[in-house]
Amino acid sequence: MKKLAMCAFGVLFILFCSTSGYGKDSPSEILTFNADIAYQCIQKQVSFGPRVPNAQAHRLCGAYLQQQLTALGARVHVQRFQAQAFDGQSLALQNIIASFYPACQKRILLAAHWDTRPVADKDEARPMQPIDGANDGASGVGVLLALAQVISEHPPAGIGVDIIFFDGKDYGPPPGTFPTDNETAYWCLGAQYWSLHPHLPDYKAAYGVLLDMVGARGATFYRERYSVYYAAGVVKKIWALAQQLGHGRYFISQDSRGHMLDDHVFVNQVARIPMINIVDHWPGERPLFKAYHHTHRDNLTLVDKQTLQAVGETLLHVLYTAPL
């Protein structure tokens, strides 16, 4: 219970839009990101077990995330829907959406996926068992929950923030095991659904930032190709800010060659909101993913607070010093 309380304290009803808020002249002490909170929120997610759609751990974790965001005073929308998986199964999915300062016209969208891969298809020893997903899934959510706490206590000047936890990101067919002519259709199910059915009609955001695999020790965030294509200005701003903050060994100023199929692709192409992806990967076309990807090495021992700190601190500075 203590850990739960650490993840969400301070109940505020934050429905207004602050024009004064904490802008450029804000005291620097509010710009502190707490990686311990992010880490605890990752631990908590992992403690439920693999968050595989239709599993009990998935339901429990979904309830936990809603409860955390509600306790922070956000306006929480839960988008429940059924999606058909590549193997014909019907998945009960939920996108969890938290709006902070809904009265603000200018909005920034932050997102991560909260489901985890049902198989460890790249693992040599136990490929059929689901992964912990401490990094692939839980890390992005952990960083955003820790950020949400700051956002709820300190309104960013003139902007509102929406946090979306997408479901069904990682239920795609294992490569080579299930031939399908349209494999991309079976990944990112939550982002696909939301992009067609946003939680508010006419929803708009100035831009979006997706976090995926943002907790691994020694992570390398090269400038991912779709992000540069759809939102070059946002990439430039965020990578420059990260360098200024001393996080250049994570946010590497080099374009990668590979295309990362991830939730931001659908947000860019279908919802038409420019969205970048901060994602741990290699800059060449192959291998694109790190060695832990979709294996049982993706567990809590992979997660490093320094990486969480670099990502959280950078995003915090974006929101409070140069949001638009």
Q: How distant is the alpha carbon of residue 140 from its chain centre? A: 4
Q: How far is the CB of 287 from Zn ion (least distance, A)?
A: 14
Tell me which residues in 53-72 interact with Zn ion (CB under 5 A).
none
Q: Per CB under 5 A, which region of 140-148, 166-174, 184-192, 301-309 contacts Zn ion? A: 166-174
**Options 170, 262, 263, 304; binder of Zn ion; rule CB under 5 A:** 170
Residue 199, token pair as written in the block: 């939680």
Q: How far is the CB of 176 from Zn ion (least distance, A)?
A: 17
Q: Per CB under 5 A, which region of 18-26, 120-128, 129-137, 262-270 contacts Zn ion? A: 129-137
Residues 303/218, Cβ–Cβ less than 8 Å: no
Q: Per CB under 5 A, which region of 51-59, 64-72, 167-175, 255-263 contacts Zn ion? A: 167-175
The DSSP code for 136 is T
Residue 152, token pair as written in the block: 């709820």
Nearer to Zn ion, 262 or 313 (CB): 262
Nearer to Zn ion, 116 or 314 (CB): 116
Q: Per CB under 5 A, which region of 38-46, 132-140, 173-181, 316-324 contacts Zn ion? A: 132-140
Residues 27/320, Cβ–Cβ less than 8 Å: no
Nearer to Zn ion, 104 or 112 (CB): 112
Residue-wise DSSP of 254-317: EE-SS---SHHHHIIIII---EEEEE---SSSSS-S-TTTTSTT-SGGGB-HHHHHHHHHHHHH
Nearer to Zn ion, 161 or 275 (CB): 275
Tell me how far CA of residue 76 lies from CA of 96, 241, 242, 275, in angstroms: 7, 30, 30, 21
Size of the site for Zn ion (CB under 5 A): 2
Q: Per CB under 5 A, which region of 165-173, 183-191, 239-247, 283-291 contacts Zn ion? A: 165-173
Nearer to Zn ion, 17 or 279 (CB): 279
Distance CA 21, CA 4 (A): 28
Residue-wise DSSP of 83-100: EE-TTS-EEEEEEEEEEE
Q: Per CB under 5 A, which region of 40-48, 86-94, 131-139, 146-154 contacts Zn ion? A: 131-139
Alpha-helical regions (H) of the chain: 2-7, 35-47, 56-71, 138-153, 189-196, 225-244, 263-266, 305-321
Nearer to Zn ion, 136 or 313 (CB): 136
**262 in contact with Zn ion (CB under 5 A):** no
Distance CA 217, CA 206 (A): 31
**Options 115, 136, 224, 280; binder of Zn ion; rule CB under 5 A:** 136
Q: How far is the CB of 316 from Zn ion (least distance, A)?
A: 26
- Contact residues: Zn ion, CB under 5 A: 136, 170
